[in-house]
Structure 1
């Protein structure tokens, strides 16, 4: 059953049922986030083939559904609900009728109404799926939220002060990212006598506030609230690891998969940097290290519960959110508040981070794409004459433009045009410097871009601030630091700041003593710097491979890079992105030239063939697209194997066949050739539609040749001739 239905209204006994449904649906949502599309495959029950294909069964089903709809409309009419009313009103009418029949002891009729309710609810969901409508009703967490609001309505009706219900309702709003509606529930829970849940309520209040009204005035309040909850989280997390209790995700307030706690470390670090607030409990660098460390622990736990494969990586929302948090934490660590004068280690860290983002292929997240763009800008600003940096910048700007434009997330057309033009300028510079150094004109082209001017202005302002700070009296500096300190909020359970004297140690299994654990502690783990409450050590992220060497000149103005990656591959990528940029700018001839250059240098680069052919199709040049696809070197020897190469070849064959049929060029010898190759890879059934078109056009010889070649026989084979007679081709 997808849902429990027809719960009696305004009954205190029903509260528990509503809460149980809420827990079940929330668990379903978390499992869906964990498994992605695999979870939907598990839930889907495939209908039997005879039911699919039988028209009689289909007619009976339609008649049965029509009679059920008539019954529903009749019941709605009894309850003064019109047949044109909304689905919600109809479900309410059925619920009222069910309760009435149940109270009258007419259980048989009540069960019939219950089945009608189930039918109607399921039909609503099926219709929303067919329309590809991702509305709230078809989302597990929205359903869970509705059920908890039902339970809360009963509590309010009976004038009860149930803090647990208010807390869970607030959390359900956090899950659906409705932070404004969550705030009042957590405010009510601040009077909770239970110290633990009062601290949790304070944490979620601060978290919701940071998402709705983040400004300098309430920044200290947010920090107070988040710090108190995070210390409790770390303490309980250690206990959970030691006990190893099997608790449902929805009932575990301290799970690593509660990403609000992990994100809170990011918020604390960013707040301190943005508003220059000094905390005795935790420093910005330490908060980012904690976030990265906990994300790594969460990924390890994720892999234990659900081994990560390509399908999970693409479809699991929870895994994607964890990766985004991890990248964000490492980005803030690598930046260290300094964007202008990066040292050797800083350049390496940023390069490793941007390479990680590009290798994950996560081009469907605006935040990640913006981080990628900013890192690329910093790298170019450190050395404008580096080919690899310019290539990263041009590609990142184009990918951000494509994402914003396709998803219609940017209403400012000037911003989109700016991204596209800057991408073209950067990639043009990259293309020109492949064989010769950049000219002064091209360098000025980059320096004339908006982001470069902003970086230069920020650098000047930073120098002015440093001079001002140096000239200030020492007493004024001390008073400023003293005034900006944030004291730990009072709490029934928290009496000590995070890791000031007795910090929460990382979870280490089978640890014999504190001395041995300190010896084995990695230099990048956050607890060491928090324990000493001193300036954290410089984080060193080693490169993933030895493809990159970075050299910093003495004047700290220019960073040189020795790149051992094949420059020819990078140049091909530059030409491919230039082709894409020009196609978006509707400069089709220039785009075509670059696509053909990519194909010439890398004949098996499928993206170039597909994108060029698609561009020509849009301009109604079908035969031009055919000519492009015809240049692709098919691996004819392996076309029977189910390898990735043969499937890629099959896509090209399918596109060629489709184009030739659309152009009605039935006599083209390439048509039969690619029909045969396509059928050999996927089977004869894949081309039956096109064979029927050729048969209708009286191209019998082509049909016979295709069938004979696919089966590896001669056209004159007796068995095939018998088949051809049945088809009417002889």
Structure 2
């Protein structure tokens, strides 16, 4: 009686979308441009029901108008006459000028986003071994013509080694319209190192030093990059990695022609299965076709366990259970307070059900990780932790619950460190941004009183604050001294947290809790190899090498074939047993590359690892990078040569795109720099003609990566910069790099010798301007320096190692992972108790401060964030009114003339590369220069003249500003910089700071010359703030610059920053100016009715 459903609904011609179902009431139909009418067929489910056509038609034959849409409603009335249901049909008759696809499918991979006729651009990741692709297309109108731009058939599209841009053209029946659908098909990169038969710099990535994958370059620059490397660098710093110039619109240029050219080059590739040789475009396919043998094993006669082939001797000597007498220490297994908070009594009291539910939630978490909000992701992790904590409560003697909860705690760390999903704690809320900024400014002001700038090392700053505390206490100002002491403690605590980085292991940290649960798992069952492995792995990650070795030996003795344990054990033993480490690392890294090959060729893995701690072979695992550097330092093994390991290590930085700027990405950057440094040292030993290119690239990368400097990084960069000057002693940019490195050494040590060296180096750079950049005649200011004299002494041995910061690849062998972790700020002592250089990954100021702000540094010095308080740094832009150098070095190489090529490279010297830790600068009568090796049959290169830029002038000005000498030359240099590069904020800031003490009005004149942007930037606001501060302090209330600067400050930072100045001006009855300021900040006229009401309230009328 009340059934108002349709049993059948059809249209002819055409088809309903979606397919008809009685419960679905809305449909669409698209017909060709030549279809003039369409017929509807309906049948009710109940014979007593009736239906009626409404809308743009009243009969079952619907007339259609070309290019329009007809909306039809089929109203079904049930037999009772009361119940109705309406089926809506939207019928579109295409126009003869329409051109679109209804279906677009690829034979491999998956289109992103999913196909829609209105979306014209798609991306598709393809297996690395795929060489051809086919498309399936369909149109709603048979009169539309479909073809591939370029004329190739849709059924067989030849793929480039990296990016293939496929354009499908659709032409309308009338021929008036043409629509192009674009598919950016990207073949995944072959995981093994591909070597060209005829190597060329134009086919080598500037960042990772591997053969190019999806070649691209920065607009206006010829330097080649892998696309993912360049995109990752641009996320860290929005500037050209080599020149430092800001990235403008359309900065990324995809080099399709170079990709096609590269595809035809002959190359070889070494794999565990042998050597593949062929064209670059086919070599990944040849590698995939190699016959893969099953992993073989041998039986240990002593313990009877299976051991991977080739590791039997190592197993017997290290981890054979018949010979291991040492047992792992046990801890008391108790339930701590944080674990109790995760126990959920409402969950089932069944251990297996709880584990199954946790696994299901882990799968949901992995899916949500890239899509959901932080709150949803953290809630999922909390639910997973509740399942495991409750399971432990149900069955405390099972290791599965303890391991699962430990992995979840570790995942909390990775969720924040890699993706930025952080749970807000009470401690985080206890201090506002304004309070932190206020304390930071007061701390820096006290440092300034004692002659210590904002860019000085933390140890010197703490000493300055301590001196202020002592002086106040001796003067009897107890209250003030206690406040200064609280500032000291606050800064010390912040420094300790920063120095530890995200790998802090205090009792509240996720990694500490993870380690506790792994210890509990080992205590519950010391014979469980997974428990021993996870405890050993995490201990190795935290730099606890002795504990790691014990646990990993135990895990290996229980299950010798566990490849993750094999690799970790090899890395842990690298400093104590090099021969064993080499064998273990080679085996483990072979497994890693085979896993990567499976991913690249689309081979699915049966065992799913949803959490980062259980997915050891992910590229973001820093232990992989450390293992590659260590094996390279040990000389490589088999197909994993030293060079291959270094290239693979350098690739890890860009292997996982989109990571947050946490501890992990900083460690991957540090690994990349060490790998590149080791490759540079290798090229110097081999006297390669590409040494100059490698040196230039590495110098620029050090500047670009924004790792805060520590002793190891400073040592590395000094070696690189000195190499650059030795290779090209008359190259202005190489000299500027060296000068900035010497300034960094002064900032870290306060040794005036470094300052004198920096001054000489910048004067040498100025002297070389306009001269041949390839000249081998070093300036006299360089030959006087002690490090140069050491490099020219014949008795000096050739440079070895991988470049400072742990000796390049050697870093991992000196103290294992613990050594490398210290370089990224993961293990450090409190700066308050033991002053020391801040480590990469921690916060560290940079040279030449300007009233609590860190200035733009010359290109070549490592980067540190700059800005007021703890505000995050922003990218540098060029042009009038744009901020300069926020969070990066002066990197102003980008201000060279557009299209200016870098100087040609010189060949490598035979002298060693070493940094002078204690500079001495006593001139001698003889000025020798390093011996050089000139490549035979090398064609003469045209002279390339050094550009005249502001970079050496700014560096020299900073060097002079820090010395006790007349400031006339310094002021003159700053003025030159402003004339040459008027957009550099820091030139104005530093010159104004130089003048403000003696002639504050002249400082205002300098600040006011800056070409401010509209709306004002944060850097602009700082200059305006200095103008306001000086004029207010001098009671120059009628200066017209005061009102305009207050307006700009309020627009950039908010009206609240002017409260103190407003109160002062109110007391001086400057109501007319106050009205002008308020109106300007809000972008309104003084006569605006709303503002007039406010002015009356403030009694300003």
TM-score, normalised by the number of residues in structure 1: 0.61
Residue 631 of structure 2 contacts residue 637 of structure 2 at CA under 8 Å; is this kept in 1? Answer: no
Question: 2:1005 maps to what in 1?
Answer: 627
Q: Structure 1, residues 86-139: CA drift from partner, whole Å, max 9, x if none?
A: xxxxxxxxxxxxxxxxxxxxxxxxxxxxxxxxxxxxxxxxx9999646298986
Which structure has greater strand proportion? 2
Question: 1:243 maps to what in 2?
Answer: 604
Question: 1:228 maps to what in 2?
Answer: 587
Shift of 1:545: 8.4
Residue 551 of structure 1 contacts residue 561 of structure 1 at CA under 8 Å; is this kept in 2? Answer: no
Match of 1:675 among 1034, 1046, 1051: 1046
Residue 704 of structure 1 contacts residue 715 of structure 1 at CA under 8 Å; is this kept in 2? Answer: yes
Distance 1:442 1:728, change over 3 A: same
Shift of 1:423: 2.0
1:313-712 counterparts in 2 under 5 A?
315-336=661-682, 338=684, 342-364=687-709, 367-402=712-747, 405=748, 416-434=751-769, 443-457=779-793, 461=797, 547-548=901-902, 550=904, 556=932, 567-569=947-949, 572-587=950-965, 589=967, 590-616=969-995, 619=997, 622-635=1000-1013, 639=1014, 641=1015, 646-681=1017-1052, 684-710=1055-1081
Shift of 1:428: 1.3
Distance 1:720 1:185, change over 3 A: closer
Shift of 1:723: 3.5
Shift of 1:364: 4.2
Q: Structure 1, residues 226-275: CA drift from partner, whole Å, max 9, x if none?
A: 22322232234434552155632111122222221222221122233xxx
| C-alpha distance in 2 between matches for 1:594 and 1:137 | 39
Distance 1:270 1:164, change over 3 A: same
Partner SS for 2:527: coil
Residue 11 of structure 1 contacts residue 154 of structure 1 at CA under 8 Å; is this kept in 2? Answer: no
Partner SS for 1:255: coil
Distance 1:393 1:634, change over 3 A: same
Residue 393 of structure 1 contacts residue 426 of structure 1 at CA under 8 Å; is this kept in 2? Answer: yes
| C-alpha distance in 1 between matches for 2:672 and 2:551 | 30
| C-alpha distance in 1 between matches for 2:504 and 2:944 | 49
Question: 1:165 maps to what in 2?
Answer: 531
| C-alpha distance in 1 between matches for 2:1091 and 2:525 | 83
Question: 2:854 maps to what in 1?
Answer: none
Distance 1:16 1:662, change over 3 A: farther
Residue 408 of structure 2 contacts residue 611 of structure 2 at CA under 8 Å; is this kept in 1? Answer: no
Shift of 1:23: 0.6
Partner SS for 1:20: helix
Distance 1:209 1:383, change over 3 A: same
Residue 10 of structure 1 contacts residue 157 of structure 1 at CA under 8 Å; is this kept in 2? Answer: no
Shift of 1:169: 1.1
| C-alpha distance in 2 between matches for 1:249 and 1:394 | 42
Shift of 1:606: 0.9
Residue 370 of structure 1 contacts residue 400 of structure 1 at CA under 8 Å; is this kept in 2? Answer: no
Shift of 1:608: 0.6
2:206 equivalent to 1:206 = no
Question: 2:654 maps to what in 1?
Answer: 299
Question: 2:560 maps to what in 1?
Answer: 195
Residue 428 of structure 1 contacts residue 578 of structure 1 at CA under 8 Å; is this kept in 2? Answer: yes
Residue 14 of structure 1 contacts residue 151 of structure 1 at CA under 8 Å; is this kept in 2? Answer: no
Compare CA radii of gyration and give the structure with the larger one.
Answer: 2
Residue 643 of structure 2 contacts residue 679 of structure 2 at CA under 8 Å; is this kept in 1? Answer: yes
Distance 1:158 1:348, change over 3 A: closer
Match of 1:260 among 623, 628, 645: 623
Distance 1:10 1:426, change over 3 A: farther
Partner SS for 1:247: coil
Residue 18 of structure 1 contacts residue 148 of structure 1 at CA under 8 Å; is this kept in 2? Answer: no
Report which stretch shifted further, 684-693 or 138-147: 138-147
Residue 363 of structure 1 contacts residue 399 of structure 1 at CA under 8 Å; is this kept in 2? Answer: no
| C-alpha distance in 2 between matches for 1:316 and 1:447 | 42
Gaps of 5+ in 1: 53-126, 273-277, 464-543
Distance 1:654 1:220, change over 3 A: same
Residue 547 of structure 1 contacts residue 565 of structure 1 at CA under 8 Å; is this kept in 2? Answer: no
Partner SS for 1:430: helix
Partner SS for 2:1012: coil
Shift of 1:698: 3.1
Report which stretch shifted further, 147-156 or 444-453: 147-156
Shift of 1:607: 1.4
Question: 1:120 maps to what in 2?
Answer: none
| C-alpha distance in 1 between matches for 2:524 and 2:707 | 49
| C-alpha distance in 1 between matches for 2:703 and 2:411 | 32
| C-alpha distance in 2 between matches for 1:717 and 1:263 | 65
CA-atom RMSD in angstroms = 4.4
| C-alpha distance in 2 between matches for 1:675 and 1:253 | 55
| C-alpha distance in 1 between matches for 2:671 and 2:776 | 40
Shift of 1:651: 3.1
1:146-157 counterparts in 2 under 5 A?
146-151=512-517, 154=520
Residue 397 of structure 1 contacts residue 422 of structure 1 at CA under 8 Å; is this kept in 2? Answer: yes
| C-alpha distance in 1 between matches for 2:517 and 2:544 | 19
Match of 1:25 among 409, 431, 436: 409
| C-alpha distance in 1 between matches for 2:945 and 2:1022 | 30
Shift of 1:633: 2.9
Partner SS for 2:684: coil
Q: Structure 1, residues 140-188: CA drift from partner, whole Å, max 9, x if none?
A: 7663443355445556766743332222112111222232432322233
Partner SS for 2:674: helix
| C-alpha distance in 2 between matches for 1:183 and 1:563 | 57
Question: 1:285 maps to what in 2?
Answer: 643
Match of 1:39 among 406, 417, 421: 421
Distance 1:279 1:150, change over 3 A: closer
Report which stretch shifted further, 544-553 or 653-662: 544-553
Shift of 1:44: 7.5
Partner SS for 1:376: helix
| C-alpha distance in 2 between matches for 1:381 and 1:691 | 58
Distance 1:397 1:563, change over 3 A: farther
| C-alpha distance in 2 between matches for 1:372 and 1:565 | 25
Partner SS for 1:134: helix
Partner SS for 1:568: coil
Question: 1:4 maps to what in 2?
Answer: 339
Distance 1:419 1:443, change over 3 A: same
Q: Structure 1, residues 200-241: CA drift from partner, whole Å, max 9, x if none?
A: 43432332243xx46xxx332332332232223223443455
Residue 420 of structure 1 contacts residue 581 of structure 1 at CA under 8 Å; is this kept in 2? Answer: yes
Partner SS for 1:171: helix
| C-alpha distance in 2 between matches for 1:565 and 1:437 | 5
2:540 equivalent to 1:174 = yes
Distance 1:164 1:621, change over 3 A: farther
| C-alpha distance in 2 between matches for 1:553 and 1:684 | 58
Residue 407 of structure 2 contacts residue 614 of structure 2 at CA under 8 Å; is this kept in 1? Answer: yes
Partner SS for 1:253: coil
Distance 1:426 1:561, change over 3 A: farther
Residue 739 of structure 2 contacts residue 759 of structure 2 at CA under 8 Å; is this kept in 1? Answer: yes
Shift of 1:685: 4.4
Partner SS for 2:719: helix
Partner SS for 1:195: coil
